[in-house]
Amino acid sequence: MDVMQEVVRMLDEVLSLNGRSASFAADTPLLGAIPELDSMAVVSLITGLEERFGLVVDDDDVDGNTFATVGSLVEFVQAKLAA
């Protein structure tokens, strides 16, 4: 499974970006750069990631750095998968 591809797909779905995520790279900024990524969207995104990847994300696991860029979010998911 390509974690980067799946995370980008989740971002597109949850944020209703209508394909805008196709140009996302690891260094694409998220939090503060994409208006659709508000607090409710973060919760929906975490729930979606848990379902898609079979993860459990505790409140203490998430901070602003997790959603800083596409790459930081991918690294977070990869670390949870390796745990």
* Mean pLDDT, residues 43-59 taken together: 94
Q: What are phi and psi of 29, to 5 degrees?
A: -70, 145
Residue 83 confidence (pLDDT)? 87
pLDDT higher than threshold 90 for residue 70: yes
Calculate mean pLDDT across residues 69-75: 97
Tell me: pLDDT of 19 over 80: yes
DSSP annotation of 68 reads S
Domains of the chain: 3-82 (1.10.1200.10)
pLDDT at 59 over 90: no
Mean pLDDT check: name the lowest of 7-11, 58-62, 65-69. 58-62
Radius of gyration of the chain (CA): 11
d(CA 14, CA 76): 18
